[in-house]
Amino acid sequence: MLNQNLITYNKSEHRLPSGEISPATKKIIDKLVDHGFEAYLVGGAVRDLLLGLHPKDFDIATDATPEDIKRIFKGKCRIIGRRFRLAHIYMGNSIYEVATFRGSDPGDRVVKQGQIIRDNVFGTVDQDAIRRDFSCNALYYDMHEETILDFAAGVHDLKKGELKLIGNPNKRFIEDPVRMLRAVRFHAKLGLALTDSMRQDIINNRHHLHKVPTARLFDEAVKMFHCGNMEIAYYALSELQLFNILLPVAAKIANQQEQWHDFLIQAFRNTDHRLKNGLSVTPVFLTACVMWLEFIPIYHTLLDKGTNSHDALHEATTLVMTNQRDYLMIPKAIQNGIRQMWTLQLRFKKMSGKGVYSTLHHPRFRAAYDFLLLRNLSNSELSQQAEFWTNIQNMSPEGIKSLIFGKKVKRQKINYEL
């Protein structure tokens, strides 16, 4: 392994808190090394530990091939992927990703119009490093020597607080356009600055995102939604003209109407707040919030044509999801969750009778309730509903029964329009 750009940092220099590395990760690396292979903790986990963060995933890089890894970890390993073959090792309830060093020589690599379609060329650790996207991800931690191998000045860039792409942007962004979205996510999540030149390179190459499978783009969008600083990411996505590639209708509406811009910002802030406080999040919620901007005008157009509110809701939801397929392929399970959240917005209007119980115990109640509160911020007409569904959650069963059945409610026709 000869690389003139390699910088090696010893324990006293890097001070990486190795105690935070999961025992299973150490066990996997030890076993690979015992079988005569190189193996390192790599990429995001090393980066995050150096930044004082607490990584959830611990990826491993090795010169063992996927078949070698499967042979070593009999019954605990599964080889996945066609574009990039990887090994998943199962330890307890966790999955650990082990990747073979990528090489630079031609071989089992398919490139179409500059974009890498398949790449299973294996090589050495220094070749693997220059194939990675950003300098801060080309860091390898040797657990036995307790050293960090830095092939692209990643430690320097982290100290400087800048995100640096490895290689020629006009080549690397075409090879894998998703790197542009990853750049925004790392900028928002890690606070690493995007240089002016990288910003311009992203704008110049943004159209290549149209070549990426829409299912993969949705996965990247969800990672962005849950990066912990989606408000910052949103402003960067808008500035770099990426948001309108992922969600063109929502981007146009938010850009033209301040009310809906503010709605999105508050939705992003709510999710960021939940993540910072260790609360659970679901991709259904923010996807529903963003798609709501496109849903509302379609829904009201159908109402104007005489469609009843229930049918209009379901027809508009279907149209929105169909229209979005060309940009982000939203999985059926998430589509169903969004439909349920939006349907509950109609049911929230009914605040008496047995229907209150079924609404209160609906599996999507919490997400739908949070969505109602979000809508209430820009629509004061929803304040009565918001107050009712807030108060009822803190009542005893007897109190709920008394509230909805204890006094005669004057029968009136409820307007179920949103």
Show the tokens assigned to 352: 């008496």
User: How many Cβ atoms sit within 10 Å of the Cβ of residue 82?
Assistant: 8
- pLDDT of the chain along its 418 residues, tens only? 446 689 999 999 999 999 999 999 999 999 999 999 999 999 999 999 999 999 989 999 999 999 999 999 998 999 998 778 899 999 988 999 999 999 876 555 555 556 655 566 889 999 999 999 999 999 999 999 999 999 999 999 999 999 999 999 999 999 999 999 999 999 999 999 999 999 999 999 999 999 999 999 999 999 999 999 999 999 999 999 999 999 999 999 999 999 999 999 999 999 999 999 999 999 999 999 999 999 999 999 999 999 999 999 999 999 999 999 999 999 999 999 999 999 999 999 988 888 888 899 999 999 999 999 999 998 889 999 999 999 999 888 888 877 777 654 444 456 767 8
DSSP reduced 3-state for 225: helix
List, in order, residues 6 or more apart from 226 with CB less than 8 Å away. 271, 275, 281, 283, 286
What are 383's strand-pairing partners?
A: none
Three-state SS string across 323-383, please?
HHCCCCCCCHHHHHHHHHHHHHHHHCCCCCCCHHHHHHCCCCHHHHHHHHHHHHCCCHHHH
Nearest to 176, CA basis, from 137, 241, 135, 131: 131
Q: What are phi and psi of 149, to 5 degrees?
A: -95, 120
Residue-level pLDDT at 179 = 97
Catalytically annotated residues: 57, 59, 133
Query: In one letter, which amino acid is 259?
Result: Q
pLDDT at 416: 64
Model-level pTM?
A: 0.89
* Residue 2: per-residue pLDDT: 44
Are 124 and 101 within 8 A, CB to CB?
yes
